[in-house]
Amino acid sequence: DKRLSNRVNAMATSATLAMAAKTRELKDQGEDIIGLSLGEPDFTVPDYIKDAAIQAIKDDFHSYTPVDGYGELKNAIIHKFKRDNNIEYKPSQIVVSTGAKQSLANLTMVLLNEGDEVLLPAPYWVSYADQCKVAGGVPIEIPTTIETDFKVTAEALEAAITPKTKMIIYSSPCNPSGSVYSKEELRKLADVLVKYPHVTVISDEIYEHINFSGGHASMAEFDDMYDRTVIVNGVSKAFSMTGWRIGYIGGPEWIARACNKMQGQVTSGANAIAQRAAITALENPPSKIKFMVDAFRERRELILGLLSDIDGFKINKPEGAFYVFPDISYFFGKTLRGKNINSASDFSLYLLEEAKVATVTGEAFGDPNCIRLSYAASESDIKEAILRIKEAVS
């Protein structure tokens, strides 16, 4: 549409949200679709967090909030970083936002100039590339493969760095691959990055607690990377609070100050009630949400077992988040029930139409050989969905 800005015309619609809309449309038409496309826990918010929100309403937390978040919430975040990550921050290094998505958007807006390059180890979360483009940046994908568990190597990272590289963005645990970088693996990447002080690291740790590998590590733990790393986190995934919209960053003060300034002109402070609830969520130990993590672990075993039975699906073992990311390139060039499959998008659409299962094409995540299935779904839905997929492709 010529009436719209070049900025928005150049942007892609979020593929995950587009799939969700298409699923809803088919469901409305009476189709029995199983949705494995959404990145959303299917639990409700734990009662102790709900109670904190109800109390906040009763206590009249109705006014505008400080742009960078309530002091008590910033303290709870500082406590969380110390407790879970052994990383120290001052209140001036923390900014609370309307979801980690806004935290990330703030960062691209305050750090990127026209033409600045942003390294994205692929597969990466859908919004990174488009947020960078809106801010004038140029996404540079660094491909990985299922053989290396979709993790970027130090050599590939170094080869991608140029004088124009402004930042690298990655998530660990990773959406969509479920890969988790160990401390040793991060150290190898850090050994490269210390040689290029013009590169800022954006470490998206929103799936921190949904980790089956036995430990979470962050680039900011290293003394020589602390001043150059921004951690993005939030309450959406760990506490099943996706709609409450609270995310946050911890990072260098000069970056936090800029995010505060940007946010002050765009949204102001995040929702008052959700912030009060987030204080309770973060002050309580992660053991309180272990039951959800345990359930995700069981579902991971279930879906991996079922998928390993399907010819043509190449899978690895995701160590975190709640996704599997099979390589389905085996089907490219083949015809299934009269339909030609030439890409991951064709395959994902085929599964929607023929198996009535919603997935997301890997193309949206910068990996054209894969599709993403979310196992944040009930066991019966997972079983039925994989059975349908198996029938549709054999």
Give the footprint of ligand PLP on this chain (CB under 6 A): 39, 99-101, 125, 171, 175, 204, 206, 234, 236, 242, 247
Q: Residue 127 Cβ, how far from ligand PLP at the closest point, in Å?
A: 7
Closest Cα partner for 200 from 249, 165, 155?
Answer: 165
Residues in the chain, overall count: 394
8 A C-beta contact, residue 329 and residue 313: no
Residue closer to ligand PLP, measured from CB, 104 or 341: 104
Residue closer to ligand PLP, measured from CB, 206 or 351: 206
Q: Residue 102 Cβ, how far from ligand PLP at the closest point, in Å?
A: 7
Q: Residue 77 Cβ, how far from ligand PLP at the closest point, in Å?
A: 13
Residues 6+ apart with CB under 8 A from 255: 107, 110, 111, 200, 230, 249
Residue closer to ligand PLP, measured from CB, 278 or 355: 278
For residues 88 and 49, what is the distance between their CA atoms, to the nearest angstrom? 25
Closest Cα partner for 104 from 118, 121, 114?
Answer: 118
* Residue-wise burial string across 70-93, b where 16 or more C-beta atoms lie within 10 A, e elsewhere: beebbbbbbebbeebbebebeeeb
Residues 6+ apart with CB under 8 A from 35: 20, 23, 358, 377
Q: Residue 72 Cβ, how far from ligand PLP at the closest point, in Å?
A: 20
Strand partners for 170? 203
The residue of the chain with the least Cβ separation from ligand PLP equals 99
Q: Residue 112 Cβ, how far from ligand PLP at the closest point, in Å?
A: 18
Q: Residue 271 Cβ, how far from ligand PLP at the closest point, in Å?
A: 12
8 A C-beta contact, residue 197 and residue 229: no
Residue closer to ligand PLP, measured from CB, 97 or 329: 97
Residue closer to ligand PLP, measured from CB, 134 or 355: 134
Q: Residue 39 Cβ, how far from ligand PLP at the closest point, in Å?
A: 4
Residue closer to ligand PLP, measured from CB, 247 or 318: 247
Q: Residue 180 Cβ, how far from ligand PLP at the closest point, in Å?
A: 13
What 8-state DSSP symbol labels residue 290? H
8 A C-beta contact, residue 144 and residue 121: yes
Residue closer to ligand PLP, measured from CB, 108 or 175: 175
Residues 6+ apart with CB under 8 A from 315: 146, 304, 307, 308, 324, 326, 327
Residue closer to ligand PLP, measured from CB, 243 or 264: 243
8 A C-beta contact, residue 141 and residue 159: no
Q: Residue 325 Cβ, how far from ligand PLP at the closest point, in Å?
A: 13
* Continuous segment of H or E residues that includes residue 100: helix 100-111
Residue closer to ligand PLP, measured from CB, 321 or 393: 321
Instruction: Give the other-Cβ count within 10 Å of 301's Cβ.
Output: 12
Q: Residue 6 Cβ, how far from ligand PLP at the closest point, in Å?
A: 26
For residue 268, what are its two tokens?
């102001």
Residue closer to ligand PLP, measured from CB, 106 or 329: 106
For residues 298 and 305, what is the distance between their CA atoms, to the nearest angstrom? 11
